[in-house]
Amino acid sequence: MIKDWIAILDFGSQYTHLIARRIREFGVYSKIVPYKISAKRLLSSKPKAIILSGGPASIIAKKAPVCDKKIFNIGIPVLGICYGAQLMARSLGGRIAKAKQREYGKAYISLKTKKGIFEGLTSNEMVWMSHSDKITKLPTGFKIIGSTKNTLIAAIADYKNRLYGLQFHPEVAHTPKGKKILKNFVFDIADCEKEWSMSSFVKSSVKRLREKIGDEKVLCGLSGGVDSSVLTILLKKAIGKNLIVMFIDNGLLRKDEAELVKRRFKNHYKINLKFVDASEIFLKRLKGIKDPEKKRKIIGRVFIDVFKKQAKVLGKIRFLAQGTLYPDIIESHSALGGPSATIKTHHNVGGLPKNLKFKLIEPLRDLFKDEVRLLGKELGMPDEIVYRHPFPGPGLAVRIIGEITKQKLDMLRKADKILIDEVKAAGLYKRLWQVFCVLLPVKSVGVMGDERTYEDVVAIRAVTSNDAMTAQWAKLPYGFLEKVSNRVINEVKGINRVVYDISSKPPSTIEWE
């Protein structure tokens, strides 16, 4: 049982998840909770410290999100970051005003002290700013402990009550000593002990699953991707033969995917696997559909229909397990109560009808993708599964822009197989977060031999990332791209042009749809 943990109140910052990840990297458990949580409820769960995240709102706006003021008086350390620092200052009697000059990007902070939260730093450090408001008056008991050229009150502290505020973001890589600052808060100020690891997560998860499930049966949907595969093996470890796994072939999978999943989990892992070929049903329902959100929703509904029908055949099953991760929740809706915007619907989030009559189990919902990979390694799973690139729930339906047809699926599968094979042969696979082909709704003129062609275009998408919340387009070697392009054009009938996507996230998403 983990004793020391840090609560992170989410005010909607794009960096909130980074705070949690940084602290977990230190070996201390952290959890993101709604900013509206009451001090009483928070105190009942006994966190060792609280961190207030940044956020897109202005604290001086009428409907600015605010937390329970009592959290500053419950006797544990509190660190406010950016918006969180301004909220802390205002809640305790300070003043906030619109800054004459917005401070965004790289800045240098002059430290008034090199003790406490700034232990081990120099007098002048690079930090990353992102704010248009500023603290103009300190609350009683606070001191200025850092200033920048444009912001006099850039870091504050009330040493007596262990309250700290930073106008900059220590959680991002652009603040070089940011990890050191967070470590100082977590270990020196909050006095946390290292108790969080994948080994401890496995032990606690197995114990909780056994206590919750007992002798009941659990149905788990398996896609073959990293998340559902790791979930399946974790559940097998916890409940053994009481696990029933269902794999639905929706006809939107990569080349030879269905056979690979059957061979791996039924034959190798000896999982009780029910295989369902529903490809014709999915393709029929998707006929004529071009809008990406409609595709996702149709696929989700058909999946549930097929799942429900097959589940009835299996008899009485009380629990349903899903491989939902924390980034799924962030991007789908503000499930944590924070002011986050919907980017796109995720297949694992909010898609279950009330009449499905299962109790939901989501053992991975607090984990980021890189942590799921670590969990897989802890469970003894091979690199082939653990480091497999993410694959969208709607499958190739969102990698074919426009209407889905069997012919387009066959073309995309062949092109994608060539790309992945060449990526692995070049030793690039583990360096990339995702790499795949997208079939565009564009035809272009080409020449093959002495004949004119008018055929389809494929885009290659390759990105590097840590958790898919942000991503950079990968600078793949020109020689490699040339080889892939030649093979695709020569070997895949119907494609005569290959292009390369050089956009990052944000502003683009990783998947095209």
Active site members: 82, 169, 171
Rounded Cα–Cα distance for residues 37 and 45 (Å): 11
Local structure of residue 468 (DSSP, 8 states):
S
Instruction: Give the largest CA-CA distance in the chain.
Output: 83
What is the distance between the alpha carbons of residues 178 and 22, in angstroms, rounded to a whole number?
10
Burial of residue 229 (CB within 10 Å: 0-12, 13-18, 19+) is buried
- Residue pair 416/254 in contact (Cβ under 8 Å)? The answer is yes
The residue assigned the tokens 């950016």 is 82
Q: Which residues contact 322 (CB under 8 A, 6 or more apart)?
A: 220, 221, 231, 348, 360, 361, 362
Token reading at 487: 């093979």
Please answer whether residues 251 and 280 qualify as being in contact, where contact means their C-beta atoms are separated by less than 8 angstroms: yes
| 351 HSE (CA, 13 A, CB side) | 27
The sign of the dihedral angle between the CA atoms of 374, 377, 381, 385 is positive
Strand duo 472-473 + 451-464: pairing: antiparallel
Q: How far apart are CA 227 and CA 467, in angstroms?
A: 13
CB 471 within 8 A of CB 503: no
Dihedral of the alpha carbons of 235, 6, 332, 349, in degrees to the nearest 10? 20
* CA–CA separation, 490 and 98 (whole Å): 60
Provide the CA 309 distance to its chain's centre, in angstroms.
Answer: 31
Distance of CA 344 to the CA centre of its chain: 13
Of 466, 465, 454, the C-alpha closest to 496 is 454
Residue 419, number of CB atoms within 10 A of its CB? 23
Give the C-alpha separation, 239 to 227, whole Å.
18
Q: Whose CA is closest to 420, among 437, 401, 399, 396?
A: 437
| Structure tokens, 69 | 């003021």
- The residue among 171, 154, 131, 156 whose CA lies nearest residue 32 is 171
CA nearest 458: which of 410, 508, 393?
410
DSSP β-bridge partners for residue 163: 78, 158
Q: How far apart are CA 128 and CA 170, in angstroms?
A: 8
